[in-house]
Amino acid sequence: MTEFNFDGLVGPTHNYAGLAQGNLASMQHQGFFANPRAAALEGLSKMQRIAKLGIGQAVLPPHERPSVTTLRQLGFTGNDAQVLQKAASTDEQLLRLCSSASAMWTANAATVSPSADTQDGLLHITPANLSSMFHRSIEAPTTLRVLRTLFKDPSHFVVHEPLPSGAQFGDEGAANHSRLHTEAGTVELFAWGRRSWGEAAAPQRYPARQSYEASAAGARAHNLRASVPLLWQQSPAGIDGGAFHTDVLAVGNDNVFLLHEQAFVDSEGVITQLKERLGPSLHVVHANGLELPLADAVRTYPFNSQLLTKPDGTMTLAAPMEVKDSTAAHHFLCRAMEEVEPINEILYLDVNASMNNGGGPACLRLRVELSDLEKQAVNGRVFLDDALHQDLTAWVTRHYRDRLTFADLSDPNLLTETRTALDELTQLLQLGSIYDFQGAPCL
């Protein structure tokens, strides 16, 4: 099995609308002008640096934004230009919601269970419904279509429908899911923030997005072997401190697990459970609030690093550049490297455009473990090599604006530019029609 990081390409309408309550960076940067071209090139640079380590790297296409389909569902009529202008003059916030490029954070795109973990020997994928935030909930139909286009071979893959929408089954995807593996066994850790029925401690300031019921349903749907799933609650204090997803305060890979004491309710308890299942070869590095204050962890995202196994079996921590500006965060990652023998490198990445909206390196990728046969069955030209990186860099440079403000979202020319770019992208990635404006079928 080889792990591939499917990174989301930053979309042409990348902007700072401050739409995500509880995401402190998003809220703090509301109203800043954006540079979509620079943001997309940052993301591509990150992908290339990961690929150069010998680690599997692939891409997922951005979604069409503004979503004219959604605006029409909400009652705006006329041609596409009129729909945008009516939305802008009637409800500017609604246009912002329908223009978000948040699908770039593919850690929220879906939850993935590799075939090694399932009873039927198939790789299972469940696209997230993201029902807790309107601007993200509209991603699910396109995400489903994209994933069923890529993973369409039924002899290898099952791409489920998203869970039913609604607060009770709010599902945020792999940002609340970790997979750990040792010679003693495998654990897929499904984190949740609230119960839809039954009692559980709840955050007081910001919403808990992932429900227990969604995590339990996802584990059932993936037909996991009985010993694999473990459900555990996020810390309400961590959520109130800005850790809206588990991957803000915890990261796991193979036999290594790094976490902050505010990642989970009873963090010592989850560590005990993991060690009982995975044995003595599990390495855990646990930060407390004295070593790494919660505010520093949320501001700089050391746990939102990518913890990556290289071909020689050693590991790299690919961390956001902001960690270097925090003595506490930098020292924690250095301690992790000192204490865990497989970790021999910290690679600092510049993903500032993403960080300003609350997404670090780990937010930008969906982890998918594939056998050689499964990789061959993936449809499209999505595995990154030098040629694809060059093609995508040229594509971004041709089509993306270098400055975007809220006023631009109602510009019909932006919609035309975006559709022209995406139509070319689907040809470049050999995906066929996946967007509504292309007349893509429902899958």
Active site residue ranges: 172, 245, 363
Both structure tokens of 239: 């959520």
Per-residue b or e along 46-85, where b marks 16 or more CB atoms closer than 10 Å to that residue's CB = bbbbbbebebbbbbbbbbbbbbbbbbeeeebeeebeebbb
Inter-CA distances, 229 with 20, 69, 215, 219, 222, Å: 29, 37, 10, 7, 10
Q: CA 251 to CA 248: how far, in whole Å? A: 8
Instruction: Report CA Rg, the chain.
Output: 20
Q: From CA 125, how far away is CA 109, in angstroms rounded?
A: 10
> What are 159's strand-pairing partners?
125
How far apart are alpha carbons 275 and 245 in whole angstroms? 23
The total of other beta-carbon atoms located within 10 Å of residue 225's CB is: 15
Tokens of 3: 């792990």
| Residue 45 three-state SS | helix
Burial status of residue 402 (CB atoms within 10 A of its CB: 0-12, 13-18, 19 or more): exposed
Closest by CA to 273, choosing from 180, 358, 353, is 180
Alpha-carbon span 60 to 5, nearest angstrom: 10
